[in-house]
Amino acid sequence: MGDVAFHTATTVDEALALLGDGSDARVVAGGSDLIVQARHGKSLPGTVIAIHRIDALRGLTAGDDLVVGALTSHATLCADAAVRSTWTAIADASALVGSHATRNVGTLGGNVMNASPAMETGGPLIVLGASVTLRSAAGDREVAIEELWTGPGKTSAKPGEICVAITVPAQPAHTGSAYVRLEYRRAMEIAIVGASACVTLDDDGNVTAAKVALTALAPTIIRSPAAEAAIIGTDGHDDALDAVAAGASADAKPISDLRANEDYRRAMAGVIAKRAVAVAAQRARGEEFPIPATPVFMKGSGR
């Protein structure tokens, strides 16, 4: 690593002033992406601005909408009662990130701004209709989460902008959501394939609205229009779920890498999307399903 200047900001204004146009400076929140990447050839910029002491950006408020400060950790998110009950897919996702240590330091703002197509909270934020608030010297602007990611590691945020909050809207009655990933082990894992679903039912239990998103199956996290069309208007049970699987596999644009090849990823896209939709529908019916929705298999303790 090289010659790096380090500043700790305690207010957003101070961080923005230090960041300037962002051409040779970068903010670090938990550092669990940035410092790891610095090991792998992407050197740190000339100036690192630590923002983890900006207390105003930490914590969440659950009113009608859920407003999450950018510095809120995965540990806080997955333990929060309101997130677990109303915006459940986010809790499913945050609970899977890294290990206890990663969840303590890793923030939602860092997860979102790092823009990995395999990142855990992205799919849940898409299906729940989230937006991010980006702040610069020019003021705040709101960006729909689907418009934030433009490619692997790339966002539409300008280099001089700081993400201050992520807002997730209120959900209609009889709505449930879930995030499920295919993993080889629980801790320190990257999704091989992930799927998120948000399902709304009418009083008779028929699906009136649904969103399905696929993780690690394209250069950015994507919606699956075919899976969504397959479930809307149905009772959310077996035949519809099989059609969801076929739709998700058809919409996936997977790559082959050392973790899984393209065909396997495409096949698993269907399996995992079907599970996510099934759990979301179950939760929409008011049935309990454990968080995280991805089961852990362990000697003598699988479920």
Residues at the contact surface with other proteins, assessed by CB under 8 A: 1-6, 8, 28, 31-32, 35-36, 38-39, 44, 47-48, 50, 52-53, 75, 98-102, 104-105, 185-188, 296, 298, 300-301
Provide the 8-state DSSP code for 57: G
Contacts to ligand FAD from residues 8-67, by CB under 6 A = 26-34, 36
* Contacted by 160, from other proteins, ligand FAD, none: CB < 5 to 8 Å by type: none
Minimum CB separation of residue 91 from other proteins in Å reads: 16
In angstroms, how far is CA 38 from the centroid of its own chain?
22
Q: Which of residues 248-277 bind ligand FAD (CB under 6 A)?
A: none
DSSP notation for 163-209 = EEEEEE----TTEEEEEEEE-SSSTT---SEEEEEEEEE-TTS-EEE
Footprint on residues 179-238 left by ligand FAD (CB under 6 A) = 188-189
What is the CA 150 to chain-centroid distance, rounded?
15
Closest by CA position to 266, among listed 196, 214, 213, 220: 214
Residue 168 binds what, of other proteins, ligand FAD, none (CB under 5 to 8 Å, by partner type)?
A: none
Task: Report the site for ligand FAD in 85-104 (rule: CB under 6 A).
Answer: 96-98, 102
Q: Give min distance, CB of 83 to other proteins, in A.
A: 19
Q: Which does 110 bind (CB under 5 to 8 A by kind): other proteins, ligand FAD, none?
A: ligand FAD
Q: Which is nearer to other proteins, 37 or 282 (CB)?
A: 37
Residue 136 engages ligand FAD in binding (rule: CB under 6 A)? no
Q: Which of the listed partners (other proteins, ligand FAD, none) does 213 bind, with a CB threshold of 5 to 8 Å by partner kind?
A: none
Q: Which is nearer to other proteins, 50 or 246 (CB)?
A: 50
Using CB distances below 5 to 8 A depending on partner kind, what does residue 248 bind out of other proteins, ligand FAD, none?
Answer: none
Residue in the structure block whose two tokens are 């823009």: 115
**Number of residues located near ligand FAD, criterion CB under 6 A:** 29
Residue type, 181: R
User: Can you tell me which of 125, 126, 148, 163 binds ligand FAD, judged by CB under 6 A?
Assistant: 163
- Per DSSP, the three-state class of 175 is strand
H or E, element range at 118? none
Which H/E stretch holds residue 195?
strand 193-201
Tokens of 287: 């049935």
The phi and psi torsions of 48 (rounded to 5 degrees) equal -110, 130
The H-assigned helical ranges of the chain are 12-19, 34-39, 74-79, 81-86, 88-94, 100-105, 108-114, 122-127, 145-148, 225-231, 238-251, 262-284
Cα–Cα distance, 83 to 126 (Å, whole number): 15
Tokens of 77: 């998110």
Q: Could you say which of 95, 113, 201, 269 contacts ligand FAD (CB under 6 A)?
A: 113
Residue 49 CB, shortest distance to ligand FAD, in Å, is 9
Query: Which option in ligand FAD, other proteins, none does residue 111 bind, with CB closer than 5 to 8 A by kind?
Result: ligand FAD
Residue 161 near residue 137, CB atoms below 8 Å: no
Distance of CA 302 to the CA centre of its chain: 25
Interface contacts to ligand FAD, rule CB under 6 A: 26-34, 36, 70, 96-98, 102, 105-107, 109-111, 113-114, 119-120, 162-163, 188-189
